[in-house]
């Protein structure tokens, strides 16, 4: 039987079928199958390995010269922090986020900063008109007058202006609006988005131009969105934040030139995005001391410690089944802590409604906040406020034991820096750590001990 010369491959998931189908049997996408030629038929692995000698050479890894990657500062310190020092010429960056989070604002501020540093910047606005871009620019700090704006959505049409201006930075807002003649489908479809990004990435490498692609992500993940581009680009940045809060977090989920551990914190203000150097101060600014049900928790974003306020409210249940509502923290984690409080610390929570909220619109996803959340819950239930200068960190096990968490030294230092003088910690860590000046480390072995401490706190350190 003759071998088939082509297959039909899904552009969404890569599944193959010998014939064309209207719907991909693997991912269920409609009209996603395209014909592709089958290559390499007939050659065995041995034959391939017997290619002529000397064609390719392997070098000792030890002989490879490692040079410091050249970078230029983006002019936005929080962005530099996430990128690992700055933008690498020739790199392709994808800036993803939900609509309205502030991607265009960040991109335009970046363009203005790069121009101020004497670089040529091309801003391709496929989504808005140059007038709209200009209006936004008027609200922002910096002078973006020198930014070259191109209102164009055909990638091929960019070639001439690209060659002429020789930009060092190109911003494409957004990749979903771009199209190329090489693909027939509509702008925004997976094949268009992928093909355009591949063309722009190739142009970036040829001209040693840094390219920022702005991409929308929907709540569900992606519609023809940035996900399909992640392997094509060098850096994937995600911009997150609750639109009802000012705080925005910028993270690198992929970074070929640096770590993916860092987080940049911004506040959306009336005049653009402002870098937040001390997020803890922002998060704690509206705290009301002396209210039961509040606890300060030092948590880590990568290697950056931040203090957050966890609030809990325990109220008699209005209905037969008690309500459990959690914002900014996993429901399952809170359910676990409620069970441990009930069984191991003797706090009665049956038929009580429970509300837990992490202030500032931040989401805490690490177990280091457990002790703080449990103390906030106990404090609300017992109607006993925690002293104002107390912070707590530690993971809680099902036996009620308080367990150690990573980089406790960083957390303690941040808490001490912001004036917290008593810090509740897992037992073994507390003994091994040197307390910063003016701070007492309070070791607690288990949750029962922590709750006893809440009822009768030890005195703060003397001045
Ligand atoms: P935008 O950057 O357009 O978001 P995206 O490109 O991610 O869709 O901006 C989103 C929101 O930010 C918009 O609702 C208006 C608000 N905003 C400010 O609060 N201050 C400002 O200075 C600017 C430019 C925008
Ligand atoms: Mg936008």
The strand order across the sheet containing 440-444 reads 324-327, 352-358, 304-316, 294-301, 390-392, 422-426, 440-444
Residue 253, pLDDT score: 87
Nearest-CA residue for ligand 1 atom 21 is: 272
Residue 155, pLDDT score: 92
What percent of the chain is predicted at pLDDT more than 70?
A: 92
DSSP-derived 3-state class of residue 132: helix
Residue 64, pLDDT score: 78
Read off the pLDDT of residues 128-185 as tens digits, 9 standing for 90 and up: 999 999 999 999 988 888 999 999 999 999 989 999 999 999 999 989 899 999 888 8
Distance 103 CA to ligand 1 centre (A): 8
Test site for ligand 1: of 268, 270, 274, most ligand atoms within 8 A of the Cβ: 268
Tell me the average pLDDT across 293-322.
89
Residue 139 CB–ligand 1 contact under 6 Å:
yes
- Cβ–Cβ < 8 Å for 153, 178: yes
Closest listed residue to residue 359, CA positions, set 307, 295, 309: 309
Global pTM value: 0.78
Kindly report the average pLDDT of the chain as a whole number: 87
The ligand placed nearest to the CA atom of residue 126 is 2
DSSP result, 11-56 = TTT--EESS--SB-TTT--BT-EEEEE--STT--HHHHHTPPTTSS
Tell me the average pLDDT across 301-312.
87
Q: Minimum mean pLDDT among 58-72, 81-95, 386-400: which range?
A: 58-72
Distance 424 CA to ligand 2 centre (A): 44
Question: Of 11-15, 243-247, 443-447, where does the model show the most confidence?
Answer: 443-447
Q: Minimum mean pLDDT among 196-200, 262-266, 420-424: which range?
A: 262-266
Residues in contact with 442: Cβ distance below 8 Å, sequence separation at least 6, in sequence order: 422, 423, 424, 425, 430, 453, 458
Tell me the average pLDDT across 440-457.
94
Residue 405 has pLDDT above 60, yes or no: yes
Question: Of 63-77, 81-95, 281-295, where does the model show the most confidence?
Answer: 81-95
Nearest-CA residue for ligand 1 atom 2 is: 102
Residue 223 has pLDDT above 50, yes or no: no
Residue 392, pLDDT score: 96
Q: How far apart are CA 125 and CA 173, in angstroms?
A: 5
Residue 74, pLDDT score: 93
Domains and CATH numbers, the chain: 1-67 (no CATH), 71-277 (3.40.50.300), 282-455 (3.30.230.10)
Distance 335 CA to ligand 2 centre (A): 38
Residue 364: asked if its preceding bond is cis (omega within 30°), the reply is no
Question: How far from 293 is each of 243, 354, 381, CA to CA, in Å?
Answer: 26, 11, 8
Residue 105 CB–ligand 1 contact under 6 Å:
yes
Residue 292 CB–ligand 1 contact under 6 Å:
no
Tell me the average pLDDT across 286-304.
88
Segments of 135-187 assigned E as strands:
148-150, 169-173
Instruction: Name the more confident of 282 and 43.
Output: 282
Residues in contact with 149: Cβ distance below 8 Å, sequence separation at least 6, in sequence order: 123, 125, 130, 133, 134
Residue 39, pLDDT score: 54
Paired strand residues for 272: 269
Test site for ligand 1: of 96, 97, 99, 102, most ligand atoms within 8 A of the Cβ: 102
Cβ neighbourhood burial of 148 (10 Å; 0-12, 13-18, 19+)? middle
Read off the pLDDT of residues 345-396 as tens digits, 9 standing for 90 and up: 999 998 899 999 998 778 888 899 999 999 999 999 999 999 999 999 999 9
């Amino acid at each position: 039987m003759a071998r088939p010369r082509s297959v039909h491959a899904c552009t969404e998931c890569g599944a193959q079928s010998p014939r064309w189908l209207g719907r991909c049997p693997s991912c269920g996408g409609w009209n996603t199958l395209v014909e592709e030629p089958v290559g390499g038929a007939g050659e065995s692995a041995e034959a391939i390995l017997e290619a002529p000698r000397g064609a390719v050479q392997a070098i000792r890894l030890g002989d490879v010269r490692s040079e410091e990657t050249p970078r230029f500062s983006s002019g936005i310190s929080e962005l530099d922090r996430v990128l690992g020092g700055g933008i690498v010429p020739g790199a392709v960056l994808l800036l993803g986020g939900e609509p309205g989070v502030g991607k265009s604002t960040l991109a335009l501020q970046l363009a203005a900063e790069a121009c101020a540093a004497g670089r040529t910047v091309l801003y391709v606005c496929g989504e808005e008109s140059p007038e709209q871009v200009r209006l936004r620019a008027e609200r922002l700090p910096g002078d973006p007058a020198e930014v070259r704006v191109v209102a164009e959505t055909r990638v091929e049409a960019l070639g001439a202006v690209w060659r002429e201006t020789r930009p060092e930075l190109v911003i494409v807002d957004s990749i979903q609006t771009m199209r190329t003649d090489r693909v027939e489908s509509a702008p925004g479809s997976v094949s268009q988005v992928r093909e355009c990004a591949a063309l722009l990435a190739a142009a970036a490498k040829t001209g040693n131009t840094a390219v920022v692609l702005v991409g929308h992500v929907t709540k569900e993940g992606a519609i023809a969105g940035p996900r399909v581009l992640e392997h094509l680009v060098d850096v994937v940045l995600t911009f997150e934040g609750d639109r009802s809060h000012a705080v925005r977090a910028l993270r690198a989920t992929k970074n070929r030139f640096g770590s993916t551990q860092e987080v940049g914190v911004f506040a959306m203000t009336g005049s653009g995005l402002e870098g937040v150097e001390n997020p803890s101060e922002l998060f704690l600014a509206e705290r009301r001391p002396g209210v039961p049900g509040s606890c300060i928790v030092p948590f880590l974003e990568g290697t950056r410690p931040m203090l957050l306020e966890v609030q809990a409210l325990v109220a008699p249940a209005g209905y037969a089944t008690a309500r459990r509502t959690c914002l900014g923290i996993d429901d399952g984690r809170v359910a676990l802590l409620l069970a441990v409080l009930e069984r191991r610390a003797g706090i009665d929570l049956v038929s009580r409604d429970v509300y837990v909220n992490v202030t500032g619109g931040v989401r805490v996803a690490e177990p280091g906040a457990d002790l703080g959340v449990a103390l906030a819950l106990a404090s609300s239930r017992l109607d006993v406020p925690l002293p104002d200068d107390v912070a707590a960190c530690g993971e809680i096990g099902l036996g009620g034991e308080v367990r150690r968490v990573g980089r406790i030294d960083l957390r303690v230092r941040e808490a001490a820096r912001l004036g917290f003088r008593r810090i509740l910690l897992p037992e073994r860590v507390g003994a091994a750590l040197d307390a910063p000046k003016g701070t007492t480390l309070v070791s607690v072995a288990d949750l029962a001990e922590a709750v006893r401490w809440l009822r009768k706190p030890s005195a703060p350190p003397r001045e």
